[in-house]
A and B are shown apart, each in its own frame.
Chain A
Amino acid sequence: MTWRRLRRLAVQLGPPLCAALAMLAIWELWVRWAHPPRFLFCAPSEIWHEAVARAGELGAATWKTTVAVAWGFALSAVLGVAVAVILSSNRVVERAFYPFTVILQTVPLVAIAPMLVIWLHAGVRAVAICAFIVSVFPVITNTLSGIRSIPHPQVELFWLYGARPWARLWKLKLPGALPSIMAGLRIAAGLAVIGAVVGEFVAGELGADRGLGIVVVVAAKQGELPMLFAAVALASLLGIAMVGGVNAVAYLLMHRWHVSQRPD
């Protein structure tokens, strides 16, 4: 059993890891042989050395960004699902407010971020709100379409047995929409990282207490290419970890009953 699970893990992780290693190797060899200008490219090994040398600084920045991402994502999950539930409860309410959720999706973050700095001051709170704004829309739309796709007879069944609104929510709407909610959260997890890093460009704290976004900006200005790449790599690792976390939760909640979670 455990052996089979290990094998499945190897089958899943093997190909992407090999692909990544191959690309890194090609990159490294190219830099060593072709000697591109130092201010344009650096080798993976240099990035690695830089990352190890400044591990403390990078670790602190990653932690800072992670906190903002976690808050922003949590807000997206809770408020996104709540808003969708409210919108789904009434057609008029939905028609009145749904267009405004689209605004969240379309207004450029860099335009809102300065306002957030004015209201909240630069820092984790403003950055978390940036992550939230960027990531909440997919949660709302997916949850909404999930609730709407619940088969009508199931809704009628609850009605026939005189289910209270609270029971309808917890025993029908939320579990029925769960596969869609998880799909929305999966998208939101990646977007929250983007929102936080970009948010930090404008609304991040400077100085010693800085997040990955600020590390990126500073490294770019000072031409510290390896540091820039290291920060970007950490941000993408954070994104992968977030999506992996959502996948794990989806598996825990649905593996016994939903087709999306069956091993093929």
Chain B
Amino acid sequence: MSALPSQPPVPSRGAIASGLPVRVSRLVRRFATQAQAPVDVLTGIDLEVPPSEFVALLGPSGCGKSTLLRLVAGLDAPDGGTVEVGGRPIRRREHPDAVAFVFQEAHLLPWRTLIKNVALPLELRGMPPGERRDRALHMLERVGLRDASERYPSQLSGGMQLRGSLARALVTDPKLLLLDEPFAALDEITRQRLDGLIYELWRERRFTALFVTHSLREAVFLSQRAVMFSRRPAHLVADRRIDFPVERGPELRGLAAYNDLVEQLHHDLLIAEGGS
């Protein structure tokens, strides 16, 4: 009866695996350029992500992380290889509710109030107004924006807009969340707060997450696994598990194990920058 998402809060790690697995095999993507030969961005990437894993995609700027993410979302078509989400090839409009994408900027529609922005995905699939309003409001409550629900995006700060876009992405209760450097433009404190929020939401809902970021600290804080790509054409340089004996919270950032991992990834990144 409840209009809220059916997922109950999950008390402990790994209790329910409700995310979709992602399998990328031999993925090839090249972009045509005007003057020269096509640029190879991805030349045969393999990546397997089990259900409900939180994976950070790292690597030098322009190495093709975002391209990979867009291919997984179905926003772009590969020149070779396959992407499977939930065991099936991703195709146009096949799982409109199951996959959500968070862009670098919030991209809320300026002519809609915050709550109408958050309700948009539900509206587009034809949910009745009352029900989608309830769900959008619940989601806004969850990201701490309930009081701002009737405001327009131009009346919100950058951090609030991004929280709004996160709420919009999660309102359909997706099984796969793709995040393309969503917080790159924010100040450090706001960014850490939002990372904390994403982590909590992931613990509650156990979606699979692919998170493109430039921040190694952010990657270590959030993810269970960090994958490092080389410079173009991208190949995997490192694939590290990230495991901590403690709950992740602000105190994690002071932990020696945390800083060691960041250090290791930094080393990986230097190798990746060196290219091959």
Contact = CB atoms under 8 A, between A and B. Distances in A.
A161 B111 contact: no
Interface in A243-264: 254, 256-259
B75 A160 contact: yes
Interface in A146-179: 151, 153-154, 156-163, 167, 171-172, 175-176, 178
A159 B73 CA distance: 11
A90 B63 CA distance: 32
Determine the interface band of chain B, counting residues with CB < 8 A from chain A.
20 to 34
A157 B107 contact: yes
Interface residues of A, number: 22
A7 to B, nearest CB: 24
Contacts, number: 54
A158 B107 CA distance: 12
Contacts of A156: 75, 101, 103
Contacts of B73: 160
A161 B105 contact: no
A214 to B, nearest CB: 44
A205 B189 CA distance: 72
Interface in B74-94: 74-75, 92-93
A167 B101 CA distance: 19
B110 A161 contact: no
A156 B109 CA distance: 13
A158 B123 CA distance: 11
Contact of A162 (B111, B125, B153): B125
B120 A159 contact: no
Given A156-B101, A159-B75, A160-B73, A151 B107 contact: yes
A154 B125 contact: no
A161 B75 contact: no
B121 interface: yes
In this complex, the member of B93, B101, B109 whose beta carbon has the largest number of chain A beta carbons within 10 angstroms is B109
Interface class of chain A by DSSP: helix
B111 A175 contact: yes
B69 to A, nearest CB: 12
Contacts of B124: 158, 161-163, 167, 171
A154 B107 CA distance: 6
Contacts of A162: 93, 96, 124-125
Contacts of B172: 161
A172 B107 CA distance: 12
B152 interface: yes
Interface in B191-224: none
Given A160-B99, A161-B121, A163-B124, A256 B152 contact: yes
A56 to B, nearest CB: 46
A160 B107 contact: no
17 contacts: A153-B107, A156-B101, A157-B101, A157-B107, A158-B124, A161-B96, A161-B124, A161-B172, A162-B124, A171-B123, A171-B124, A172-B109, A178-B111, A254-B111, A257-B110, A257-B152, A259-B154
Closest 6 CB pairs of A and B: A162-B96, A162-B93, A161-B124, A153-B103, A257-B152, A153-B107
